[in-house]
Amino acid sequence: MEISEKDILSFREQTDKIKNEIEKAIIGQKDIIEQVLIAILCEGNVLLEGVPGLGKTQLVKTIGKVLDLEFSRIQFTPDLMPADVVGTNIITQDEKGASKFTFQKGPIFSNIVLADEINRATPKTQSAMLEAMQEKTVTVGNTTYTMSKPFFVLATQNPIEMEGTYPLPEAQMDRFIFKLYVEFPKLEELSQIVNITTSVGESELNKVSSGEELIKMANIAKEVPIAKPVMEYAMKLILATHPEEATSPDITKKYVRYGSSPRGAQAIIKAARVKALMEGRYNVSFDDINYAAYPVLRHRVLLNFEAVSDNISSEDIIKQIIDN
């Protein structure tokens, strides 16, 4: 597929339009909005972490409205079962009165699935999401069902130290293209939030895109070329997160238990391509790679006990790797 200058221009205009519409309902959090949009255009899943009440759920609902996509919400609780997520076979009767099993689809069969407080469910229930998040299919019994496109999971979680939470397994963390931290609003933003939410009437949101348009934009992003030095730089970043690599910096060897998987390499390239198009460029720069590195790698660099005791975060490791 050949990409014209018109495609690049319309890609940038469309993403600006989507961001502006979302910002009508979400005060501040501009970086989070942009990064969630990048992840959606990479056909990836996003994990939003932050204390309760910061508007994580509101952000996901707003995105569903603005992009005119089918939206479902699953509230994860300790007693939630896998069948509550993917669905189950139920006994029904046909016209002749004969009994048969019919599959009743669960809430995961949607375009946008909001997995609210995902780390409050047990690992067994969390694992029900794995196949859908990676393969975009759901297997129940002997039958495999394909999800409608576009499909992505936007999950929220409270910081792990909070009561009644289960850490997400590494395999599930790896299926999120980005992990984003939602920070507490500044003074001015807090005033605006309170004004909007405590006054009469809500801001009217317009539908400015559609599922077909998102799929088309995602396909355009896949065509963006990457120069060999930029690609090599991205791959070196990934390798530098592995403590067993001879070329890894000392901070990695000292504090990292496991480095990023190949999914991290794929995610950095996908996100950098979308970021370049959002800025109206038809080439990926080193800055695009650096920009993508933080949300892509912060949950893929697993730290050892020494890092925890020395108060070193995965962000510190990524910054040091980029500086090197």
55: Cβ–Cβ under 8 A, 6 or more apart, which residues?
26, 29, 182, 193
For the chain, what is the radius of gyration of the CA atoms? 21
pLDDT mean over 118-139: 84
pLDDT above 90 for 104 = no
pLDDT value for 131: 84
| Cα distance between residue 117 and residue 48, in whole Å | 9
pLDDT value for 161: 64
pLDDT value for 136: 87
pLDDT digits (tens, 9 = 90+) for 40-89: 999 889 998 877 766 777 788 888 888 888 888 888 888 888 888 888 88
pLDDT above 80 for 165 = no
| Cα distance between residue 324 and residue 318, in whole Å | 10
| Cα distance between residue 297 and residue 224, in whole Å | 22
| Cα distance between residue 146 and residue 188, in whole Å | 45
Which amino acid belongs to residue 203? S
Give the residue among 92, 94, 114, 90 at the shortest CA–CA distance from 104: 90
Chain centroid to CA 48: how far? Answer: 8
135 C-beta neighbours (distance < 10 Å), count: 13
pLDDT digits (tens, 9 = 90+) for 228-283: 999 999 999 999 999 898 888 888 888 889 888 899 999 999 999 999 998 888 88
